[in-house]
């Protein structure tokens, strides 16, 4: 695996080290800045559909359309 360089502001640079320090204290082991960035990225990647629960503010009409679409899809799939 190769490495890449990126430019970040001084504020971001300091923030990354703060995050790495907090993770190190929480995990009780050394945490590199690279690992801290990967952990931050993983926090924003949903791993399961349930991770998205409560994040979408849908109207009753939108929910009805979604349910109808799912029901139609299940009928065609069976």
Give tens-digit pLDDT for 55-77. Answer: 667 788 888 888 888 888 888 77
Which H/E stretch holds residue 35?
helix 33-43
CA distances from 19 to 11, 13, 52, 62, 76 (A): 12, 10, 24, 38, 48
Domain borders along the chain are: 8-47
| Pair of tokens at residue 73 | 């899809």
Angle of helix 33-43 relative to helix 10-27, nearest 10 degrees? 90
pLDDT of residue 19: 92
**What distance in Å separates the CA atoms of residue 29 and residue 21, rounded to the nearest whole number?**
10
Q: pLDDT for 24-52, tens place per residue?
A: 999 999 999 999 999 998 887 766 767 66
DSSP state of 53: T
């Amino acid at each position: 695996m190769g490495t890449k360089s990126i430019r970040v502001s001084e504020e971001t640079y300091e923030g990354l080290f703060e995050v790495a320090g907090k993770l190190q204290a929480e995990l009780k082991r050394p945490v590199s800045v690279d690992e801290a960035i990967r952990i931050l990225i993983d926090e924003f990647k949903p791993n399961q559909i349930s991770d998205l629960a409560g994040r979408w503010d849908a109207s009753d009409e939108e929910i009805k359309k979604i349910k109808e679409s799912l029901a139609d899809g299940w009928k065609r799939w069976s």
